[in-house]
Amino acid sequence: MRMMIVEDEDALAKGLKFNFEQEGFEVALAGDGTTAVRMFEEASPPFEIVILDLMLPGMSGYEVCRHLRQRDARVSIIVLSARTMSEDRAMAFDAGTDQYLSKPFALPELLSRVRNLTERRRIMFSPSEDSKEAAPVTMEFGDGIVINFDRFELSVRGATHALTTTEMQLLRYFTQHPDKVLSRSQIMHDVWGDSAAFGSRTIDNFVMRLRKLIETDPTAPRHLLSVRGTGYRFVAKPTDGDHNATEDDSPPN
């Protein structure tokens, strides 16, 4: 699997490269944002995973992230950041990252995140080989909303949107568990394959973005309902009783 590491601290970059090569990755290094964007655009075959430091000389990591994401909806991106403010985290997710890891980090933690993303890619991109994940290529729900799982596209009342791997994975997870109350920790575990390192803000950010795409009024969702103190509930065909519930008598799973 092809990986690009974008990091201006040379020693760290080389250490990471060494470790990922031991894991079987083919690794390229970029020391600044402009180089990273150019290498990404020229790469053939494309990079599948990018490890991206946020604090870079010149072009910021956020900007790099936006460029890469615009170019390739499917690439898996892990942002490394010495900043731990929740706004930074939210900004990184808005820029299109799949994961966010605070510096200093433990190497095993990063390796496990990468393995997890790699595994998700394997499942996402070869669904037929994984019968438990096998799902129809398209799914339609609500008022003219169609998800194309193969093409990572969401068509909402005629307008088509490209989804990132994580958005697609999360939306697929919701549609596979309709009408069930899903706790944040359950979603973390099943979609991200991890839990402890994430704040619940991560899921909330992704849900907010999906709501903007699928809900007629994202402030009064009918499909992706919040369940107070617990998590979320997906409703494919809302009735008058389905609204952004503050109470729900379904048993938590």
Binding residues for Ca ion, per CB under 5 A?
A: 8, 53, 55
The closest residue (CB) to Ca ion is 55
Q: For Ca ion, which is the closer residue by CB, 31 or 46?
A: 31
Of 53 and 72, which has the nearer Cβ to Ca ion? 53
Q: Please say which residue, 8 or 63, places its beta carbon nearer to Ca ion.
A: 8
What CA–CA distance (Å, rounded) separates 173 from 169?
Answer: 6
In the complex, least distance from residue 55 CB atom to Ca ion, rounded to whole angstroms:
4
Least Cβ distance, residue 98 to Ca ion (angstroms): 20
Residue 28 CB, nearest approach to Ca ion (Å): 17
Contact by Cβ (8 Å): 76, 52: no
In this structure, what is the dihedral angle of CA atoms 195, 97, 229, 146, given to the nearest 10 degrees? -110
Q: Check residue 28 and report its DSSP letter.
A: E
Rg (CA), the chain: 19
User: To the nearest whole angstrom, how small is the minimum distance from the Cβ of residue 12 to Ca ion?
Assistant: 8
Instruction: Provide the minimum distance between the beta carbon of 9 and Ca ion in the complex, in angstroms, as a whole number.
Output: 5
Using an 8 Å Cβ cutoff, are 181 and 252 in contact?
A: yes
20, two tokens: 């990922």
Q: Residue length, the chain?
A: 253
Instruction: Measure the CA–CA gap between 113 and 119, rounded to whole angstroms.
Output: 10
Compare residues 1 and 55 and give the one whose CB is closer to Ca ion: 55
Q: Which is nearer to Ca ion, 30 or 224 (CB)?
A: 30
- Kindly state the tokens that stand for 97: 């990252």
